[in-house]
Every structure is written in C-alpha cells, then in structure tokens.
Amino acid sequence: MNVETYIENQIAELEAELSDKRVELASCIQPADWAAFSTSAAKKLNKAYESFCSAIRRRVIQMGSRTQTYFLKHGAFRLVAAVEQAAFVRFPAPGDPTDSIYDYPQLTLSANKVRLLQAYLSLDFDETSSLSVCYGDYVESSRMVEARIPGTDKQMDISSITEKAPLKQGQVLSSLLSEFELIAHAVLRSDRLKERMSSLERQMRILKSSKKAFQQVHIPIDQMTEVIEQLERLAGSAQLAAALLLKGPSGTGKNSLKKLQSLTR
C-alpha cells in the first residue's frame, strides 16, 4: 500500500464516522425543543421565585418589604443538573451566551446527592456562585445571609429563613426538575457529538492537505505512516500525541511536514 492509498482509506473511515455522528446529532435536542423548554421553564422559575420572596417578606417582619425588594432585584432561581463528575448544566445560563447556550461551571455539590445525573434548585445572587442548593428534602448554603435592620447599622442573620423557603418551591417545581434532568443529559450528548464532529473534520482537513505534501517527503512507508498517525492524534480533540521531532538530511521533506504539523494547532 502506498501513502496516497493509506491516506484515502483514513479519510474514508473518518467520513463514515462523521456521517454516523450527523445522524446521531439529528436525533438529539433541537433548537425548537430548547426554545419550548426555555419559555416554559423561565415562567415557572420566575413564579416560584416571586413566591419565595413573598415568603421571605412574611417571615422577616421587621424588614420584610425592603428585604423582598432586594431579593427580587439581585437574586434568581436556577436549575442545576450534574451531568459529569465536574460539569453541570445550569438554566438560565449566567453571563453572556457563548457557542453553546449551556454552560458547564465548575461547582461543588453535596457528596450526599443520590446519583450523578440529578437536577437541583439553586438560589443565586448577582451572577455569582450559588448561595444555596435545594437537594429535595434539605438545603445547603455556601455562606451566611444577613439583612440590615432599618434605622440601624445592625445585621440580622436570616440564613435559616432563606434555607427553609426554597424547600417548598423545590416541591412545587419537582416535575420541572425531572424534565431538566432529561434536558441536561440531552445537552451533554449533543455537545459531545459536536466536539467529536469538529475533531473529525479537523483530522480530515489535515489528511487532505497531507496528500500533496507527502509527495515531497522521502522516507520509508512505515515511518511515513507513523508520522500520519501522529498528525491525526495531534488534530484530535484530546491532542494525545507528543510533539514531533523531525530529523534527517536536507531534501527529505522536513519543512513540508512542519507545515502540516502547524495545521493541527
């Protein structure tokens, strides 16, 4: 087998896998599915958060109105689903949108959570990390919550109130949380497929570019095959290959290979 035939066979294998991934992606969550979920979930979360703020006002009698207004202005409920060991999907996703409408923040959830893939209700303030997370029958907070008593400089600890209030809303939103578990899993699958497809397309571009370049390279076929495999690994999403060290006398094609290697970055 010559180099050209080897490269063409590699490209054919990549094209076949890419075709399969496109079929898989077509069965994943689609923009229309996301739009429908987004609209419905946003309304339910807003309603639940308004009820939560009303509960805060009723329980903090001394400063109810002021505290309720502050919570409404600065806080929000979010759905959080653990989809991998250190990756979570949040809705609504905080911050500016990126290539994906979902984000994978590095959070820390309780070690007592029942299973890896599970959705939770979180209370967030000012786009920062979660103030507290409701795990169904209990709430864990990351920091103390205080409110200033009107007309004084004194602060009142209201953490116990902000921890109890989300429990009821978590029960109200139980069906939404179950739905979000499925949505989050679909999100992860879709994003991973897109990453793999991007890697396959990158490898194919490298191989197609290499067909012409390898005509100017004069090394044994087994060594050339090894170089091509290294280039494929460098072009992969995990970048598994180490750096290539090109050695040899003048005229063997080192510069041509160097140009190909630069395309993998």
Place of tokens 């739905």: 179
Are residue 16 and residue 80 in the same domain, yes or no?
Answer: no
Phi, psi of 217 (to 5 degrees): -105, 130
Are residue 183 and residue 67 in the same domain, yes or no?
Answer: yes
Question: Which residue among 129, 155, 189 closes a domain?
Answer: 189
Q: In this structure, is the dihedral angle defined by the CA atoms of residues 52, 55, 59 and 60, taken in order, positive or negative? A: positive
pLDDT at 142: 76
Are residue 32 and residue 19 in the same domain, yes or no?
Answer: no
Are residue 56 and residue 14 in the same domain, yes or no?
Answer: no
Q: In this structure, is the dihedral angle defined by the CA atoms of residues 186, 188, 191 and 193, taken in order, positive or negative? A: negative
DSSP-based helix, strand, coil % in the chain, nearest 5: 55, 15, 30
Q: Which tens digits make up the pLDDT trace of 54-77?
A: 887 777 656 667 777 878 888 889
Contact 169, 75 (CB under 8 A): no
Are residue 121 and residue 236 in the same domain, yes or no?
Answer: no
Phi, psi of 148 (to 5 degrees): -80, 135
Q: What is the mean pLDDT of each run of 10 residues along the chain (265 residues)?
A: 78 94 89 87 93 79 70 86 72 61 54 60 75 80 75 78 81 89 83 88 83 67 71 60 60 58 51
The parent domain of residue 9 ranges over 3-25+196-262
What are the C-alpha distances in Å from 1 to residues 10, 54, 103, 252, 256?
13, 75, 46, 20, 22
Are residue 18 and residue 40 in the same domain, yes or no?
Answer: no
Question: Which residue among 174, 189, 204 closes a domain?
Answer: 189
Taking phi first (over 0 means left), then psi (-120 to 50 degrees means alpha), and beta for anything else, what does residue 127 get?
left
DSSP 153: S
Question: Which residue among 141, 172, 189 closes a domain?
Answer: 189
Are residue 118 and residue 145 in the same domain, yes or no?
Answer: yes
pLDDT at 98: 47
pLDDT at 116: 46
Which long-range CB contacts under 8 A does 11-18 form with residues at least 24 apart?
11/204, 11/207, 11/208, 14/200, 14/203, 14/204, 14/207, 15/204, 17/200, 18/197, 18/200, 18/201, 18/204
Are residue 8 and residue 81 in the same domain, yes or no?
Answer: no
Structure tokens, 65: 């109105």
Are residue 209 and residue 256 in the same domain, yes or no?
Answer: yes
pLDDT at 18: 95
Residue 31: asked if its preceding bond is cis (omega within 30°), the reply is no
The count of domains in the chain is 2
Are residue 99 and residue 163 in the same domain, yes or no?
Answer: yes
Structure tokens, 16: 């076949």
Are residue 57 and residue 183 in the same domain, yes or no?
Answer: yes
